[in-house]
Structure 1
Amino acid sequence: MVKLLYVTANPKRPAVSKGMKIGEAFLETFIKEQPDTEITHMDLFNLDMPWMDADLISARGKMGGFGVKIDELPKHEKVKVKKMHALADEFISHDYFVFVSPLWNLSSPAVLKNFLDNLFISGKTFNYTATGPKGLLKNKKAIHIQTRGGVYTNTPMEQMESGDRYLKIALRFLGIEVMDSIVAEGLDAFPKMVPDIVAKAKQKAVLAAEEMARSTIQV
């Protein structure tokens, strides 16, 4: 049995979120290809996760720079670090990852960036080596489904988009193979075309899900 983690970063209900409708088309197709897949949904707007605050920065500095063990940290730091490690362990236990998020003000919602912050743990998800950092999350595959109000692809705005770009950089840093993103854009710029834009994105999602489900992952 393989495990798929479905990560959504949108405060809207699935019934009204265009991105999650596309995501559902992806999941439905994936399940048809791999019926025994175990799917876990993480709604980042309702997920209790640590935020990178003074306590976590202090704890990570002690652990990374001075070799302090988790159980040697002050209680208020230890609680947050253990919570961070538990979230990372949950993430690592999956084989496939589907991220669904909108583009807000040129980037992703803050909850998605914070979620990724919880995954960057030296010795767990990556290692420092003589030739630079090396990701440890091999034999895993991810894809990003992103909705955009404006049009960025092949326009002067393309270089300003930093949500999809950062997510792919972060996942690849951790060693995960990342597929081409599914992007539905122009949703605010062309409201009358929304049904067509979403329909075309769903078609791409179906094809991507078939490709991902048929790929070989060592479990």
Structure 2
Amino acid sequence: MKLLHIDSSALGQYSVTRELTAAAVAQYVEREPGVEVAYRDLAADPLPHWTPIGGDPAALSPELRAQADANEAIMQEFLAADVLVIGAPMYNFGIPSTLKAWIDRVAVSGRTFRYTANGPEGLAGKKKVLIASARGGFYAGTANAAADFQEAYLRQALGFLGLTDVEFVRAEGIGMGPEQRAASLAAAHTTLKAQPLSLAA
């Protein structure tokens, strides 16, 4: 079994999602000691914005060849994973641009999705996805829900690739003072411990 652990928060040691993804991965490893964990920190090692690389691969410049090879490595890392643990804070109602750049590398026509006569079909395989979500305010189940372009986007983007076993562990209101932050983080940890974190998707 292989687990891909992705962090995207720019807040380092102050990040709520980093704390939650670390706890989630620790739970997986405790339950499945033989699991192989790959880690990608999209804030410390950000990907450039996606640009098309076309033409004969043999004719590419060294720079474009290196970029194409890096993109393929990201794709292979994604395809090999049985479980994804993703830290996705809400930035201005959406996801960090670094996480979007990663999604742009793994959402590739003919590799992880295709268009058919019956509509799009996901090709990414059967994977379990756990997403640690953090928001400064409250959105889920409130009048602000329509402003949530974070979790809705992730469900759509991952679902488009065929990944429908997606669970969110959410910490909301973390920007509303230290007491609320602590309470929301504690509640998220409680939710995380109650999640059925079997590696079987």
Please report how far the alpha carbon of residue 11 of structure 1 lies from its aligned counterpart in structure 2 after TM superposition: 1.8
Question: Unpaired runs of 5+ in structure 2?
Answer: none
Taking a change above 3 Å as real, the CA distance of residues 133 and 78 of structure 1, as seen in their structure-2 partners, is: farther
SS at match of 2:106: coil
Residue of structure 1 in register with 2:29 after alignment: 31
CA gap of 1:20–1:75, structure 2 versus 1, over 3 A, is closer
Higher Cα Rg, which structure: 1
Conservation of the 8 A alpha-carbon contact between 2:46 and 2:98: no
3-state secondary structure, aligned to 2:189? helix
SS at match of 2:84: strand
Partner residue of 2:67 out of 67, 80, 86: 80
Report how far residue 80 of structure 1 moved. Answer: 2.6
Two-structure CA RMSD over aligned residues (Å): 2.0
Change (3 A) 1:131 1:70: farther
State TM-score, norm by structure 2: 0.90
The equivalent of 1:112 in structure 2 is: 99
- Residue 43 of structure 1, aligned match among 41, 44, 56: 41
More helix by share: 1
One-letter amino acid of the structure 2 residue matched with residue 45 of structure 1 = A
Identify unmatched segments of 5+ residues in structure 1: 60-67
Instruction: Compute the displacement of 1:16 (Å).
Output: 2.3
Q: Confirm or deny: 8 A CA contact 1:4 1:98 kept in the other structure.
A: yes
Q: Distance in 1 between matches of 2:177 and 2:118?
A: 47
Q: Which runs of 4+ in 1 moved over 3 A?
A: 68-79
- C-alpha deviation, 1:177, in angstroms: 2.9
Residues 169-195 of structure 1, C-alpha deviations (whole Å, 9 max, x = no match): 111111123323111001112432222
- Residue 128 of structure 1 aligns with an amino acid whose one-letter code is Y
Checking the alignment, whether the CA contact within 8 Å between 1:146 and 1:183 is kept in structure 2 is yes
How far does the alpha carbon of each residue in 1:84-110 deviate from its partner, in whole angstroms, 9 at most, with x for none?
122111111111001112111101110
Q: Which amino acid aligns with 1:26?
A: A
SS state of the match for residue 19, structure 2? helix
> Partner of 2:165 in structure 1?
178
Task: Judge conservation of contact 1:151–1:189 (CA < 8 Å) in 2.
Answer: no
- When structure 1 is superposed on structure 2, of 24-33 and 149-158 the one drifting more is 24-33
The residue identity in structure 1 corresponding to 2:129 is A
Offset of 1:75 from its aligned partner? 5.5
Q: Equivalents in 2 of 1:154, 1:216: separation in Å? A: 29
Relative to the length of structure 1, the TM-score reads 0.83
